[in-house]
């Protein structure tokens, strides 16, 4: 895009204090260098073939849909060797020949390979079965939510996976036995409810969750095919699935559970301190120490609690602790839902009719709200979560709410949690991440299967995704979406939880905190019920470091925004900053590089514009002298036609001398064909 064309799209009008701007068009899709293109495509193809359950997660329905991931130790080694091969190919690409965009792609790919290779020694800490992960959850979710089941061939792929499960189950058992042999066991708190989860996938074949897809089949399946498929399904479930799940359950009860550790912190494990630091680096993509993160959490808790007191004064509760305020809000019948339907309808109305119109103003290129809001009646489901869409859009993004105990949910919480999970949080983040056709697939789609296998896996970019979602709750304040003190308290409640996570996660895993001490801290500083707190603490025990990503990411995003504002001044456009943030997926150091590039490029455009303006003024002065000389000969003075044009902004601009860069740009633009700058 030429300079003049670019500046035509950055016209800024200042009218009664309102800054209105037209976003520039997206640049045409660029083709990367052949060696980089081949590398990113080869990596994507290998990854979706080697991780078939990830391929299903993103909606790929090819030969991978009939296979399951491998958990064999020898296969893990082959994966590491393949990553070393990809990394060498990445080093062989001449970075000096790449465009800025392609250079970012190359850097992210290198970071992805380095993360897997460097963290491979921590694979030994992987516990394949906990209350958060394992086939009793992941395999079931794949069958229920992710498989494409339209044709007879699709059902045959599902049956093929049923037939492969005994192999995967045996590999899981080997890993569990290796955990025991190496004395690298999960905490007993990580196993709460696992036996019940395994029992729930057992029972009669006809009642099994794995038989349900064969009860109601699409019309594309003939009656004869349905009969055949049902017979095959019953056989596979009876012979392959149920016995394999029983083997895992029996081993868990008789050998694994008795060997679990009573301590909650991973620092109690051999090499656990290094392991925890690796987990923190993986999830936050920083080198912050546990103590630094702990101190940051205490500072943030104090800051948010001060904000709580300001809001509390609005509802006559000044001086009360947040725990006391939270209890009063919970006891308010006006904040209750009367049914599951009431909860879901309230949330849908909040997202579609309240949030979306306001967010659309802040994000001009926001696509339609292709988002579903659904309930989850699972007793162990968390309050709210987001599940991304498939690549082809046939499976929409979903905001999933726990409806099992709808009476525990409160109306004042809905605004903040909807901003976080839906718009402009996870759903918008996912939409932006996948919309640019020039972004390679490996950056668009993140593998969320077996997420607890951190840090010995490919990056999740938790600090960016969860940091953005928490930042989205902050944007709700800027958008004026917290309409009353109760909704503000809802926001404070969630922010206090994220700040408290920094304290209790590091407290338990690095600073010797007991589980009771962590529970007490959350009771004192959040409005969560004791039941919710117990579940939160068990999650932090099982997934060390992950809970620290939210606050670290949000703080960094705000810091980068302030950096851009300071550098660009009146030229800063929030929508441009958000576009850069959302379009740059990777570790924080690469995101910061993207923002630095954005600042430099913006300044460069303005500097070039100012330089061209000066050249134009010099030419105009020369032309004016010649014109005045001719007018003098013709009997016309300075107050003739030329002077009128200059005052009206035709060939000159009375506003330009001493004006700001913005005004200078407007004056200069006024002289371009087809462009008119509005008066101030």
Query: CA–CA distance from 441 to each of 147, 387, 392, 470 (Å)?
Result: 20, 18, 13, 25
Question: What is the dihedral angle through the alpha carbons of 41, 45, 48, 49, rounded to the nearest 10 degrees?
Answer: -170
Computed from CA positions of residues 160, 161, 166, 168, in that sequence, does the dihedral angle turn out positive or negative? positive
What SS3 state is found at 555?
A: helix
Question: What is the dihedral angle through the alpha carbons of 411, 412, 416, 421, rounded to the nearest 10 degrees?
Answer: -20
Cis peptide preceding 455, ω within 30 of 0 = yes
Q: Which of 145-149, 399-403, 646-650 has the lowest mean pLDDT?
A: 646-650
CB of 305 closer than 8 Å to CB of 524: no
Nearest to 65 by CA among 137, 128, 143, 133: 143
pLDDT at residue 642 tops 50: no
As a whole number of angstroms, the distance between CA 667 and CA 151 comes to: 63
What SS3 state is found at 19?
A: strand
pLDDT digits (tens, 9 = 90+) for 385-404: 999 999 988 899 999 998 98
As a whole number of angstroms, the distance between CA 22 and CA 575 comes to: 10
- Work out whether strand 397-402 and strand 384-387 pair parallel, antiparallel, or are unpaired: antiparallel
Q: In sequence order, what are the beta bridge partners of 402?
A: 376
CB of 487 closer than 8 Å to CB of 518: no
pLDDT at residue 265 tops 50: yes
Residue 415: what pLDDT? 97
CB of 40 closer than 8 Å to CB of 440: yes
> The tokens 């939270």 sit on which residue?
326
Angle between helices 272-284 and 549-568 (to 10 degrees): 40
Dig out the tokens for 354 from the structure: 């309240």
Residue 371: what pLDDT? 93
Instruction: Give residue 223's Cα distance to chain centre.
Output: 43
Residue of 635 and 439 predicted with greater confidence = 439
- Number of other residues whose CB lies within 10 A of the CB of residue 670: 21
Chain mean pLDDT for the chain: 87
pLDDT at residue 653 tops 70: no
As a whole number of angstroms, the distance between CA 281 and CA 293 comes to: 11
Nearest to 373 by CA among 334, 417, 333, 337: 417
Nearest to 247 by CA among 167, 160, 130: 167
Dig out the tokens for 61 from the structure: 């329905």
DSSP H or E stretch at residue 318: none
User: What is the mean pLDDT of the segment spanning 105-129?
Assistant: 97
Rg (CA), the chain: 29
Nearest to 118 by CA among 333, 236, 285, 319: 285
Residue 144: what pLDDT? 93
Nearest to 116 by CA among 195, 183, 37, 51: 51
Nearest to 294 by CA among 496, 123, 503: 503
pLDDT at residue 91 tops 50: yes
pLDDT at residue 352 tops 70: yes
What SS3 state is found at 386?
A: strand
As a whole number of angstroms, the distance between CA 41 and CA 38 comes to: 5
pLDDT digits (tens, 9 = 90+) for 582-601: 989 889 999 999 999 999 99
- pLDDT-derived band at 624 (thresholds 50, 70, 90) equals low
Residue 362: what pLDDT? 94
- pLDDT-derived band at 278 (thresholds 50, 70, 90) equals very high
In sequence order, the 6+-apart residues with CB closer than 8 A to the CB of 180 are 255, 256, 259
CB of 193 closer than 8 Å to CB of 380: yes
The DSSP letter of residue 187 is B
Q: Which of 329-343, 539-553, 615-629 has the lowest mean pLDDT?
A: 615-629
What SS3 state is found at 261?
A: strand
As a whole number of angstroms, the distance between CA 584 and CA 577 comes to: 11
Specify whether the backbone of 612 is left (phi greater than 0), alpha (psi in -120 to 50) or beta.
alpha
Q: Which of 40-54, 230-244, 355-369, 603-617 has the lowest mean pLDDT?
A: 603-617
User: What is the mean pLDDT of the segment spanning 420-437?
Assistant: 92
Helix, strand, coil share of the chain (percent; to 5): 65, 5, 30
Dig out the tokens for 462 from the structure: 């938790």
Q: What is the pTM of this model?
A: 0.85
Computed from CA positions of residues 626, 629, 635, 638, in that sequence, does the dihedral angle turn out positive or negative? positive
- Work out whether strand 384-387 and strand 18-21 pair parallel, antiparallel, or are unpaired: unpaired
pLDDT at residue 673 tops 50: no
As a whole number of angstroms, the distance between CA 345 and CA 42 comes to: 45
Give the side-chain half-sphere CA count within 13 A for 538: 19
- Work out whether strand 371-376 and strand 18-21 pair parallel, antiparallel, or are unpaired: unpaired
């Amino acid at each position: 895009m030429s300079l003049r064309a670019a500046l035509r799209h950055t016209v800024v009008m200042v009218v009664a204090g309102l800054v209105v701007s037209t976003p520039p068009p997206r640049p045409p899709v660029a083709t990367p260098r052949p060696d980089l293109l081949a590398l990113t495509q080869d990596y994507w193809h290998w990854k979706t073939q080697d991780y078939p359950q990830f391929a299903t997660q993103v909606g790929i329905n090819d030969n991978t849909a009939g296979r399951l991931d491998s958990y064999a130790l020898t296969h893990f080694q082959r994966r590491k060797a393949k990553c070393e091969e990809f990394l060498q190919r990445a080093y062989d690409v001449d970075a000096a020949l790449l465009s800025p965009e392609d250079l970012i792609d190359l850097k992210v790919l290198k970071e992805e390979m380095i993360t897997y290779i460097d963290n491979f020694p921590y694979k030994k800490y992987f516990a394949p079965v906990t209350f958060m992960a394992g086939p009793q959850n992941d395999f079931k979710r794949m069958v229920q939510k992710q498989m494409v089941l339209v044709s007879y061939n699709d059902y045959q792929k599902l049956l093929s996976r049923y037939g492969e499960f005994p192999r995967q189950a045996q590999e899981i058992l080997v890993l569990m036995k290796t955990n025991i042999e190496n004395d690298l066991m999960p905490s007993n708190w990580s196993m709460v409810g696992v036996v019940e989860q395994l029992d729930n996938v057992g029972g009669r074949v006809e009642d099994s969750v794995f038989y349900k897809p064969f009860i109601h089949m699409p019309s594309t399946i003939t009656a004869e095919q349905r009969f055949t498929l049902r017979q095959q399904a019953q056989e596979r479930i009876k012979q392959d699935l149920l016995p394999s799940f029983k083997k895992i359950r029996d081993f868990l009860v008789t050998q694994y559970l008795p060997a679990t550790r009573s301590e909650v912190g991973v620092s109690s494990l051999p090499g656990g301190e290094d392991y925890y630091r690796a987990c923190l680096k993986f999830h936050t993509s920083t080198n912050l120490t546990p103590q630094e993160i702990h101190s940051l959490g205490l500072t943030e808790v104090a800051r948010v609690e001060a904000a709580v007191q300001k809001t509390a004064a609005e509802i006559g509760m000044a001086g009360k602790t947040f725990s006391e305020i939270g209890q009063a809000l919970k006891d308010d019948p006006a904040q209750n839902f009367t049914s599951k339907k009431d909860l879901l309808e309230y949330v849908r109305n909040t997202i579609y009719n309240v949030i979306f119109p306001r967010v659309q103003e802040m994000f001009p290129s926001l696509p339609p709200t292709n988002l579903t809001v659904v309930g989850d009646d699972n007793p162990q489901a968390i309050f709210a979560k987001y599940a991304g869409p498939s690549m082809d859009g046939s499976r929409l993004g979903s905001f999933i709410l726990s409806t099992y105990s709808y009476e525990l949910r409160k109306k004042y919480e809905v605004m903040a949690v909807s901003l976080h999970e839906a718009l402009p949080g996870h759903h918008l983040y996912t939409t932006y991440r996948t919309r640019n056709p020039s972004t390679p697939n490996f950056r668009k789609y993140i593998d969320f299967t077996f997420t607890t296998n951190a840090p010995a896996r490919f990056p999740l970019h938790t600090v960016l995704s969860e940091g953005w979602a928490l930042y989205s709750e902050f944007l709700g304040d800027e958008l004026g979406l917290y309409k009353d003190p109760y909704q503000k308290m809802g926001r404070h409640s969630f922010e206090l939880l994220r700040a408290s996570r920094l304290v209790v996660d590091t407290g338990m895993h690095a600073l010797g905190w007991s589980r009771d001490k962590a529970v007490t801290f959350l009771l004192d500083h959040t409005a969560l019920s004791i039941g919710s707190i117990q579940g939160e603490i068990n999650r932090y025990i099982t997934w060390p470091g992950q809970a620290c990503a939210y606050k670290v990411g949000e703080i960094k995003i705000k810091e980068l925004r302030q950096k851009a504002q300071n550098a660009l001044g009146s030229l800063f456009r929030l929508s441009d900053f958000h576009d850069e943030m959302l379009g740059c997926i990777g570790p924080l150091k690469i995101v910061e590089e993207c923002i630095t590039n954005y600042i430099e490029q913006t300044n460069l455009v303005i500097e070039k514009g100012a330089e061209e303006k000066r050249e134009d003024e010099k030419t105009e002065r020369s032309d004016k002298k010649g014109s005045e000389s001719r007018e003098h000969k013709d009997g016309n003075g300075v107050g003739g036609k030329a002077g009128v044009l200059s005052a009206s902004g035709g060939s000159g601009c009375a506003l330009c001398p001493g004006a700001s860069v913005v005004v200078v740009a407007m004056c200069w633009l006024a002289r371009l064909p087809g462009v008119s700058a509005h008066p101030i």
